[in-house]
Amino acid sequence: MTNIAVLVSGGGTNLQALIDAKSRGEIARGRLCFVLSSNPDAFALERAAKAGIPTGVLRRKDFADGEDYAAALSQLLEEREIDLIVLAGFMTVLPDSFCKQWENRIINVHPSLIPSFCGEGYYGLRVHEAALAKGVKVTGATVHFVSEVVDGGAIILQKAVEIEPGDTPEVLQKRVMAQAEHILLPRAVSLFCDGKLRVADGRVMIEA
């Protein structure tokens, strides 16, 4: 069984998608055993508590620098024997040292089709604002491994979502979540737990 920690900062809709997928039996070889928030007021903590998942809070401002924060975070994860870290709207930047320590064991979901609208400064509504400003006809979501390069890790899964006339960033955000993020993230986690993901030359191979 793969021990999974989900890192959150806000509402936790992607966490809820994982909880629901687990309850449906879609993550058979994974256990959601810890939810950690960088924000003590995150609603995601309530979602976790309702699902009976242990929680913790680790605020960046309580540490001198990013390395100290990452060391404390790693200790918490190691104490719980975590095998996979899932970033689900986690808004604290993790230093390179942490990404290297947990290489190919951190999964993130990004609300665009990488390499479009990604990298430094592209998060939350900003991604959808940029897509609409550019006038693209299709956007979507990407699940990828986390590397030292922001949104630059090996891509696991992608799904396209059409942009519709009259879309606002908020409307588009909800559609991308419902039609892509909440589908892709549990699927990628399940593939990881089933041992079906292999990274070679910066690309992810999915085994049958």
Residues carrying an active site annotation: 110
Could you tell me the CA-to-CA distances from 91 to 10, 134, 166 in Å, in that order? Answer: 9, 25, 29
Q: Dig out the tokens for 68 from the structure.
A: 């100290």
Instruction: Count CB-CB contacts under 10 A for residue 2.
Output: 18
Secondary structure class of 191 (helix, strand, coil): helix
CA dist 176 and 159 (Å) reads 9
The neighbouring-strand residues paired with 198 are 205
